[in-house]
Each structure stands twice: as C-alpha cells, then as structure tokens.
Structure 1
Amino acid sequence: MKIKTIEDFYKDVRANIPSTINREIGHFNVFNMEELMQRLRKKPEMPYNRRAYYKISLIIGRNRAEYADKVIEIEKNALLFATPRVPYNYVPYDLDQSGYFCVFTDEFLREVKSGVQIDDLPIFKAGGYPIFQLSEEQRDEIAAIFRKMEKELASDYLYKYDLIRNYVLELIHFGQKLQPVTANYPTHTAAERISSLFVELLERQFPIESTHQQLRLRTAKDYAAGLAVHVNHLNKVLRESTGKTTTDLVNGRIVKEAKILLRQTEWNVSEIAYCLGFEQVAHFSNFFRKHTEVSPLAFRSGH
C-alpha cells in the first residue's frame, strides 16, 4: 500500500508546493474544495492510501468515506480527521461539492501543549472513529474557521503560523467535543493503563504496508511479554475493561487488517497470509472464514 507524500498530494491537485509555506516549521496549507474542483474540472480522485501528512476536511456534499475497514455514507455535511496511521479516502458521488480542507505535517503541530504529542490526542488515536456528520449550524461554524485560515495564510502578519496553529487546534477540539465523552479523558488506574498500552502495542503493528512486512506479535503471550505482565493478568484486565480476551482482541484486529488488504490491495492471499503471521494459506483461510463466515476470495469479490 503506497504512502502518499505531501509532494504526491500536490501532484494530485495539480499545484506546485508553495516554497514560502512553513519551510522551517513543517508544512501547512488550506484549500477551498469548490475552487479545487473548478481547477481539476472533475471530482478529485483519492486512492485508498495512507498519507504522510494530517488532513482535516469539511465535506459538503454527498460522499462515501472509507476509513480503515469502515464505510460511511455522508449525505450532506461532515468533518473528517485523517492521520498518517490509518488509510482512508472519500469518494464524491457528484460534482455538487464544496467545503474546505487543510493539510499539515507533524512538524507543524509537533507539540500541541507541553508533553502531549499530536498522536496522543483522542481524535487521532488508533481505533477511533474520526468522521462526524454535522448540522448546518456546526457546518457554518467550522467553515468560518477555515476562512480565517485562508485569510491569515495570505496575510503578511509575522506570527500568522502561530495563529493558524491555534485555528487547527480549534478544529481538533471541535471534533473531540463531538466524540463520546469517555474518549476524551485519559485513564489513570493501573488496569486502565495496561489496557491503553496493549491497544497502543497492538496498533503499532498496523497498517501492513508491504508484502515484506510481517506481524511480530501474534499471541496473547507475545503481548504479555511486550508489556512485562503475566498473560493471565493481561487477560483479566482486558476482559474487565472490554469484555474480550487478549486473543479475541488480537484476532479481531487481524481480521480487520485482512479485510483492508483483501479489498484495497492486489496482493494474493498467500502474501496477505504471510504478512499477518500465518505459515500456511490454509490456516489463514480457515481463520478468516471462522471470523467472517466467508472465504478470503469470496470476501474480496464481494460475495
């Protein structure tokens, strides 16, 4: 699965990378979707890929968003947060599209506040659901923030990037307020910390980006060893916090990645099986059928 760089992005939208935009402090730019579509004279093509940059989009129009293994129908207005850690795209159904989006690298927003990295924010955490349907009032409020970004980016104000960074944070906090309340508060107990570290360790293995990559951790014992806890204790903690065992959670994430690879790559089943840690294709096929009730090939063909 190709990782789209910021250079690839500018090629896709048929624009040169502005040499004056944040050369020292990372990259940032903001776009008006209507103007972009007029320049392209077609619906923008967004292949399903990981990007090497972050993107926040206000989508106005009918679209289908594909994020990790989820497909979301957008009927009118939506706010989408995209991270380099998760592959995604959205497909416009027609040319009646408007809205805004901004792209930025991690250097631009390296530390949003003392000691907190951008990937530690709830909106960008692995396993999240960062696509939100919006009311017209919410849409107008977000559009106003993007217009302020546009205006500031074109200004000669010496500290304009500090101000733009605040607007980006405003969008992030807007999205985080739309998340379930529990997603926005860090956990503190020892058990909750183990659960959080387990999820982080699990997600660190994904996405699979090439046929030469293979999962390092496959079993409950592997994860317990990685967290320096006894496997029985890890199982107890995870069962109490999620209702599932370590094996259930690991297998569920492998099935999720298998679906992504089957649908979004042209790799053969043998290559996918190898990447996901199965020594034989038959073992992978049996595993996939057990969890989905269809074979890998049937799933790939949509049956």
Structure 2
Amino acid sequence: MEKTAHTFHSSLEDFYQEMTEKLGIDIDSILPKGLQKEIGHFNVFDIAQTIQQVKLTFQMPYNRRKYYKISLIRGKNRAEYADKIIKIKTNALLFATPKVPYHWIPEDTDQSGSFCVFTEDFFMKDKPYSTLEDLPIFRPGAIPLFEIGDELADEIEILFAKIKKEIVSDYIFKYDLIRNYVLELVHYGQKLQPAAKLSASGDASLRVVSLFIELLERQFPIEAPDQQLQLKTAKDYADRLAVHVNHLNKKLKESTGKTTTDIIAERIVQEAKILLRQTRWTVSEIGYTLGFEEIAHFSNFFKKKTSMTPLEFRS
C-alpha cells in the first residue's frame, strides 16, 4: 500500500496509534492508498475483523473525537452520553460528531458491522453547504443513534461493502465515489429522524429556537481550562439574536416546555459532567470555564441540579 501523508487531526493520530498498537502492524498498512492532502482523511474498518485481530472487546472510549464517525454495529450494546444511557438490543446506526462525546460498551461477544472515520474537509469537498452541521443528522443538540431492523441493517451493510471495495481499488476518482456512498449513509440516518428535525421551516418562531440551540452549542466543547463561556444568561443570547429576552423565552417555552435559563443550565450541567468525568481539571477550573468565578457557586449550582456535589459525581 502506498505511503500517504499524515494529514489528519491529533485525535485521529491517537485513533491510529491505538489501532496499530493493538493489531501489531505498521500504520501505513491500514492507511487508505491514494488519499491526498487536499481531500482530508477517510478510512473504513470491519468491526468483527478488528475484534478478532485485537482479541479484545471492541470499545469506543468516552471522549470527544476531532473527526466524524458513522457506524453500523450489530450486537447487544450500550451507549452512554453524559447522563443518558441508551441500550441497543440488535442493530444500531450511529453518527458520531466532535460535539457529542460518548462511550460505546458491547454487552455480548457477538459483535459485527462496519464503521468509517472521516474529517470534515474530506466530506465537504465541492458540497453546496458550508459545514457538516448544515445537515440535520449533524446539527447540534441531537443524539443521532438509531436502533434498526435486520432488513435495513443488511442494506447499510451492502453500502459499507461498496466503500470497502472501492477504497482498495485503483480507480482514480474513487474518493469522489466514496463521498457519495457516505452521503447515502447520511441520508439513511436522516430518514430515521423525526420529520420536524429535517424541515427547514420558514416559520420565524422556529428559526429563533433553532438559532438559539445552534448558538448555545457553538460554545461547546470546552477544551482547555482557560476557555470560558462567552454567553451565560438568557439576555446574552437574546442580545446576540437581536430579540427581546421575553420573546426568546416565550418561543422556547412554546417549543420545548422549558425556559431559556433552564435550557442553558441543563447544557452547562451536561458539560460539567463531561469535564468531571473526562478531564483531570480541578473543580475550580471546571467551574471557571463554565462561567462561575467562585467554586462555591459552581458547587451549589451543580448540587441543586444533580443532588450531588461535583466531587461526589466525579468519584
């Protein structure tokens, strides 16, 4: 297999380092051939073969990935998203984004399927939309994980087989073709979403709600202890959206049943749980990044929302 420039993000480097260490092979042997620097990065893997070679339970560690992943996983599994746990009995179609960290835990030894990893610049080549988050399946605020039946899983498996066949071919335009296959995978997922999430409604009220959620999610993830939320209150968001805070609150209440302040607080708690579980930052550092100047204020806020102190949750 020809040598390929290592153009992927640091967390993809971590991914490949882990894969090559477990498999006991050289990194160039699993890098796809013909992948040029200007088209980003893409690769595809077979889950059953990976498990067999590694001789370990296949686990996707709980972290934030700098890349995107689409997985067809066949078997009994459990997904953990911060404080949410989703159990899968048979087949799952999973869309992983850099915005949403998760932990995937197999609950039996009969695991099969496929997954592909790619960077945004690979997928976005010559696309009419500006970012992947323009696609409903990758929009902030969602957990795009679907339990599917055997018939649909078989269809998706055929699509992954086409990708695997193409990636080792010598066809000069193979990555253009693979990009189309990946877009098909995206459409499979989007058809499984509720219709409301797919619509690009012209309703002004829905636009306000959508823009608020997007603005909220743009503040995350928190990736360094010196990073701090810029928008902390309902008024901060209303000002940024150029609407009155009462109008924003009314539209969110109508759409979600929650106030602006409630939604902001829930997202901050979710991020706090992620940072407490995933980092070694002090409670004071985590509180600071989330907009609390005093550790006592952060601890009181967290306990009020979870009935646990930050240290109790971390332990």
Q: Secondary structure at the match of 1:47?
A: strand
Q: Which amino acid aligns with 2:260?
A: T
The range that moved more, 286-295 or 245-254, is 286-295
| Residue 7 of structure 1, aligned match among 13, 22, 36 | 13
Q: Which amino acid aligns with 1:243?
A: G
Give the number of aligned pairs. 299
Q: Which amino acid aligns with 1:107?
A: D
Distance 1:76 1:4, change over 3 A: farther
Q: Which amino acid aligns with 1:16?
A: I
Distance 1:144 1:112, change over 3 A: farther
Q: Is the 8 A contact 2:46 2:115 kept in 1?
A: yes
| Residue 127 of structure 1, aligned match among 133, 141, 151 | 141
Whether 2:163 is the aligned partner of 1:143: answer no
Whether 2:308 is the aligned partner of 1:294: answer yes
Cα distance between partner residues in 2 of 1:8 and 1:294: 33
Per-residue CA deviation, residues 29-72 of structure 1 (Å, 9 max, x unaligned), is: 11111111222221234332111111001111222222354222
Whether 2:16 is the aligned partner of 1:16: answer no
Q: Secondary structure at the match of 1:99?
A: strand
Distance 1:71 1:21, change over 3 A: farther
Unaligned runs of 5+ in 2: 1-8, 21-25
Q: Is the 8 A contact 2:69 2:118 kept in 1?
A: yes
Cα distance between partner residues in 2 of 1:290 and 1:182: 33
Cα distance between partner residues in 2 of 1:181 and 1:5: 33
- 1:91 CA displacement: 2.1
Per-residue CA deviation, residues 211-256 of structure 1 (Å, 9 max, x unaligned), is: 2211111111111121122222222222222222211111111111
Q: Is the 8 A contact 1:111 1:117 kept in 2?
A: no
Q: Which amino acid aligns with 2:210?
A: S
Q: Is the 8 A contact 2:62 2:102 kept in 1?
A: yes
Q: Is the 8 A contact 2:47 2:112 kept in 1?
A: yes
User: What is the Cα-based RMSD across aligned positions, in Å?
Assistant: 1.9
Q: Secondary structure at the match of 1:48?
A: strand
Q: Which residue of 2 aligns with 1:219?
A: 233
Q: Which residue of 1 aligns with 2:90?
A: 76
Q: 1:1-303 to 2 correspondence within 5 Å?
A: 5-14=11-20, 16-17=27-28, 18=31, 20-23=33-36, 24-110=38-124, 113-115=127-129, 117-301=131-315
Identity %: 60
Q: Secondary structure at the match of 2:39?
A: coil
Cα distance between partner residues in 2 of 1:189 and 1:247: 23
- 1:21 CA displacement: 4.1
Cα distance between partner residues in 2 of 1:263 and 1:92: 20
Cα distance between partner residues in 1 of 2:144 and 2:137: 6
Unaligned runs of 5+ in 1: none
Cα distance between partner residues in 2 of 1:58 and 1:176: 15
Cα distance between partner residues in 2 of 1:278 and 1:291: 15
Per-residue CA deviation, residues 116-173 of structure 1 (Å, 9 max, x unaligned), is: 5321111111111211111111111111110011111122222221211111011111
TM-score (norm 2): 0.88
Distance 1:21 1:82, change over 3 A: farther
The range that moved more, 205-214 or 9-18, is 9-18
Per-residue CA deviation, residues 151-197 of structure 1 (Å, 9 max, x unaligned), is: 11122222221211111011111111111111111132222222111
Cα distance between partner residues in 1 of 2:173 and 2:11: 27
